[in-house]
């Protein structure tokens, strides 16, 4: 097949990990006979420097026409003045809105070779395989905000349609996995959560083959640490999802390992590692590129429907975690490019 992939390397370690992900995708293309055409565009701080805008119109246009979009990271101290009129993160929010991506997927597995890095004991980590589906366009992050000298408000709002579409996505994903959805809310206190719960319950009736369970967010925060292997797909609203996915990331041992996908109704998805621009290590060729490389695997799976190729990348990453090399964040000394080359070499080992 032939696919057009837009890359948005962004700031900090973004360009380094994007280069690694692109190199792995190129290697997969060579081995499978597919053609991936890459076009790189500006977003975030580097786009502000070049054009004054965190998301230049040309970037959004190119992304909308692509088959998939790969993003490195945005932001950094150079652009972090809270008084600044334009900030790099606005580029990312505008891109998500422009692409209409409403479901943020974050798979979490704990690789046995890294169990020592996790704060949990080995036996709890066995068989952890969770897929978070976080609603990405609603809730308190996007509601009206007010501020006077002594009062502030953030409106939290959800429509039935917004809850339905992310719920359907979660159930469809669960069908391909272990047929178990846990919906997380705070329905004992919040009206948006009561709407969430009743909508999820109604949509779930369309998926009799998938088991639904409700959890309050506070108990979920605890259960993630005490029984992480119990969960399959966890679906939740924007703010709860933001918090729970960071908590879950700690279980994996390093931020540098974890991928994400943001999907909408169409096929164009946005793929990025969950880590930020990591300014403290940028430009030193030491960032772990595995989160970016695993995001490239998600791109193949969800936007290009190349399941075999996606699985091959994941197996190659597992091979590297088993046999090394390891980057600094996971207890080794390997550079970004050594990690990249090791994954490419492992493609042939696992094929
Ligand atoms: P953001 O505000 O953009 O989400 P953040 O505050 O979450 O950023 P990161 O930029 O993700 O922070 O960095 C957090 C810490 O994790 C830093 O010490 C950074 O060096 C480290 N880190 C992040 N990504 C990687 C990576 N790919 N490899 C190694 N270390 C990383
Ligand atoms: Mg962060």
Structure confidence at residue 123 (pLDDT): 75
Q: How far is the CA of 336 from the centre of ligand 2 (A)?
A: 20
Q: Which of 91-100, 122-131, 142-151, 194-203 has the lowest mean pLDDT?
A: 122-131
Coil vs helix vs strand at 40: strand
Query: Which ligand 1 atom is at minimum distance from the Cα of 89?
Result: 3
Residues with CB under 5 A from ligand 2 (ion): 276
Of 190, 101, 215, 203, the C-alpha closest to 160 is 203
Task: Choose the residue to mutate in 242, 254, 276 for probing ligand 1, maximizing ligand atoms within 8 Å of C-beta.
Answer: 276
Structure confidence at residue 283 (pLDDT): 97
CB 12 within 8 A of CB 255: no
Tell me what the pLDDT averaged over the chain comes to. 95
Catalytic residue among 49, 65, 145, 246: 246
In this structure, the residues whose C-beta lies within 6 A of any atom of ligand 1 are 13, 17, 75, 255-256, 275-278, 280-281, 287-288, 291, 329
Gyration radius of the chain over CA positions:
20
Tell me the pLDDT tens digit for each residue of 211-229.
999 999 999 999 999 999 9
Structure confidence at residue 116 (pLDDT): 82
Mean pLDDT of 267-273: 93
CB 261 within 8 A of CB 169: no
Cis status, amide bond into 101, omega within 30 of 0 = no
Tell me the pLDDT tens digit for each residue of 55-94.
999 999 999 999 999 999 999 999 998 788 999 999 999 9
pLDDT exceeds cutoff 80 at 9: yes
Structure confidence at residue 241 (pLDDT): 97
Contacting residues for 330 by C-beta, under 8 A, at least 6 apart: 114, 117, 253, 254, 256, 257, 288, 321
pTM as predicted? 0.94
Rounded Cα gap, residues 161 and 320, in angstroms: 42
Grade residue 231 by pLDDT with cuts at 50, 70 and 90: very high
Start-to-end C-alpha separation, the chain: 19
Tell me the pLDDT tens digit for each residue of 294-327.
999 999 999 999 999 999 999 999 999 999 899 9
Q: How far is the CA of 255 from the centre of ligand 1 (A)?
A: 7
ipTM of the prediction greater than 0.90, yes or no: yes
Q: Fill in the DSSP letter of residue 249.
A: H
Beta strands at 35-40 and 145-147: parallel, antiparallel or unpaired? unpaired
Mean pLDDT of 132-157: 95
Grade residue 253 by pLDDT with cuts at 50, 70 and 90: confident
CB 291 within 8 A of CB 273: yes
pLDDT exceeds cutoff 80 at 267: no
CB 77 within 8 A of CB 280: no
Instruction: Supply 23's token pair.
Output: 């190199």
Mean pLDDT of 31-39: 97
Catalytic residue among 49, 65, 218, 267: 218
Mean pLDDT of 185-195: 98
Tell me the pLDDT tens digit for each residue of 93-134.
999 999 999 999 999 998 888 888 888 877 777 889 999 999
Task: Choose the residue to mutate in 278, 280, 317 for probing ligand 1, maximizing ligand atoms within 8 Å of C-beta.
Answer: 278
């Amino acid at each position: 097949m032939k696919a057009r992939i837009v890359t948005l390397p962004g700031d900090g370690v973004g360009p380094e990990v994007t280069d690694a992900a692109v190199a792995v995708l190129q290697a997969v293309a060579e081995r499978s006979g597919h053609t991936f055409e890459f076009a790189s565009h500006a977003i975030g701080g580097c786009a502000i420097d070049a054009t004054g805008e965190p998301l230049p119109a040309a970037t959004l246009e190119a992304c909308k026409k692509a088959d998939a979009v790969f993003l490195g990271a945005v932001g950094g101290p150079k652009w972090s003045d809270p008084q600044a009129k334009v900030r790099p993160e606005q580029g990312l929010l505008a891109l998500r809105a422009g692409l209409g991506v409403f479901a943020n997927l974050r798979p979490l597995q704990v690789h046995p070779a890294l169990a020592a890095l996790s704060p949990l004991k080995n036996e709890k980590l066995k068989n952890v395989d969770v897929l978070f589906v976080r609603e990405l366009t609603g809730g308190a992050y996007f509601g009206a905000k007010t501020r006077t000298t002594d009062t502030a408000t953030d409106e939290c709002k959800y429509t039935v349609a917004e809850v339905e579409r992310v719920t359907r996505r979660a159930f469809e994903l669960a069908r391909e996995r272990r047929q178990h959805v846990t919906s997380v809310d705070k329905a004992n206190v919040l009206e948006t959560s009561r709407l969430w719960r009743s909508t999820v319950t109604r949509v779930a009736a369309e998926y009799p083959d998938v088991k639904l369970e409700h959890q309050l967010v506070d108990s979920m925060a605890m259960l993630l640490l005490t029984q992480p292997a119990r969960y399959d797909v966890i679906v939740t609203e924007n703010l709860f999802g933001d918090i729970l996915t960071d908590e879950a990331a700690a279980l994996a041992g390093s931020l540098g390992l974890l991928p994400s996908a943001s999907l909408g109704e169409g096929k164009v998805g946005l793929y990025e590692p969950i880590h930020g621009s990591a300014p403290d290590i940028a430009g030193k060729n030491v960032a772990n590129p595995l989160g970016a490389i695993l995001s490239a695997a998600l791109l193949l799976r969800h936007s290009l429907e190349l399941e075999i190729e996606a699985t091959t990348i994941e197996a190659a990453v597992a091979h590297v975690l088993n046999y090394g090399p390891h980057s600094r964040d996971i207890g080794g000394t390997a550079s970004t490019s050594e990690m990249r080359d090791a994954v490419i070499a492992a493609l042939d080992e696992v094929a």
